[in-house]
Amino acid sequence: MKSISKMLPGVLALATATVLGLTSTQVQAQDKTITLCWAAWDPANALVELSKDFTAKTGVKMKFEFVPWTNFADRMLNELNSKGKLCDLIIGDSQWIGGSAEQGHYVKLNDFFAKEGIKMTDFAPATVVGYAEWPKNTPNYWALPAMADAVGWTYRKDWFAKPELQAEFKGKYKRDLAPPKTWTEFKEVSEFFQGKTIDGKKVYGAYIFTERGSEGITMGVTNVLYPMGFKYEDPKKPYAMQGFVNSPDAVRGLEFYKALYKGSTPPGLTNAYMGEGLDAFKSGQVAMMMNWFAFFPGLYKDPNVGGDKIGFFTNPSDKTKGVQLGGQGISVVSYSANRNESLQYIKWFASPDVQKKWQAIGGSSAAKAVLDDPAYPKSSPFAQPFLDSMGMVVDFWAEPSYAQLMLAMQKRVHDYVVADKGTAKEALDALVVDWGKVFKDDGKSK
């Protein structure tokens, strides 16, 4: 027996595996580990838990590299640009798709999807366009929709229900104090709460994004710009921005955002994004808060401001509807030495049963198997607002030069809204020039 074992160790290993109920593929997989990279937040923790099922099914072990949102883009884009091998899978922002596709960072998934029967029609259309396609609106896929998200709103339901505030508001505005459906109503409600004393504490009307360094103020102001008529370009002439980015409607939207910042928000929040908003709401400073839907499950469970004290609503409308798309797709990094195992993960993650569990444990599925379930709208107090939002999302440029485009908008908007430099028209005129130069350098416009 000893002599046989020396001659045929692989046969014995396979025999042992068979006794344990493992396939030869799983035996090989036990020596494989893949690393998934994402931002550090609650949904990432849920994905760690979910991924235990993948390891149990395939034998492929999982490692995770989670980076705080404030450093996420810089860290991960540097990793991709340097052709690093840290990440086998990456859940990257929607704006990265263009650059990552054209620069060869992501594996194109069309053939794999066709082979495995994975259909993009099984996912919400906005998430396919936003997270997976490049060029946009073409059937070229570089990711699987992984984390559906958009900007939404929370409000202090308990404050809105106070009889004395209801009476005061109705006396002033001749309507009930309720979650605002239009931006005109929003401004009235936020100004009504500004400086009020509630439960012995001075409070403020609203929290909105103002962060300058990465994407914050852009991800905030667009929620006013889109409903008021702002467009990134002429729908009939790509990259022609004059009269669209700086249209009278866009100017009005930017002026409106500044009016909210000046008249409806807590003092001192000059460079604030997701975390500061959560802090402001949890500490009872504001009546309404702008933030990503991804944070709402945690807020609803908060012992101080959750449960019956909190409510949720979709982004207000104006002459039209619109809200900023968030969320991410999951991609296979082209520099990975574990491409086959990474593709196995994509196949596993795409299945309806996994998507349902992903939703149940704290993720946000983009799969129609979840979103089209008749029970979904009543599955949480923010489910219907989320569905409504996903029907009107708009995304920022997903161009390969998106980082330059983003930083230009961050500067122009922050300079006007927070730093009081110039007029809204001047800010948007300058933005057209900034963006025009980027597209000219890219050879996409004259």
- DSSP code of residue 63: E
CA gap 84, 68 in Å, rounded: 19
Ranges of residues in the chain whose predicted pLDDT is under 70? 1-30
Tell me the whole-structure pTM to 2 decimals: 0.92
CA dihedral 6, 10, 13, 15 (to 10 degrees): -110
Task: Determine whether 2 is exposed, middle or buried from the number of CB atoms within 10 Å of its CB (0-12, 13-18, 19+).
Answer: exposed
**Whether the Cβ atoms of residue 305 and residue 278 lie closer than 8 Å to each other:** no
Q: What confidence score (pLDDT) does residue 446 get?
A: 81
CA gap 44, 362 in Å, rounded: 9
Radius of gyration for the chain, computed over Cα atoms and rounded to the nearest angstrom: 24
- From residue 275, give the alpha-carbon distance in Å to each of 111, 133, 282, 328: 40, 30, 11, 19
Residue 311 dihedral angles phi and psi, to the nearest 5°: -135, 170
The residue type found at 38 is W
Q: What confidence score (pLDDT) does residue 29 get?
A: 54
Residue 166 is encoded by which pair of tokens? 């209801």
Q: How many residues would you count in the chain?
A: 446
Q: Which of 326, 338, 327 is nearest to 36 (CA)?
A: 338
- Give the 3-state secondary structure of residue 156: strand
Residue where the block lists tokens 């923790």? 45
HSE toward the beta carbon, residue 395, CA cutoff 13 A:
28
**Whether the Cβ atoms of residue 174 and residue 192 lie closer than 8 Å to each other:** no
What are the DSSP E strand ranges found in 157-250? 197-198, 201-202, 204-207
Give the chain's end-to-end CA distance (angstroms, integer): 78
Instruction: Quote the crossing angle between the two packed helices 339-350 and 42-58, to the nearest 10°.
Output: 110
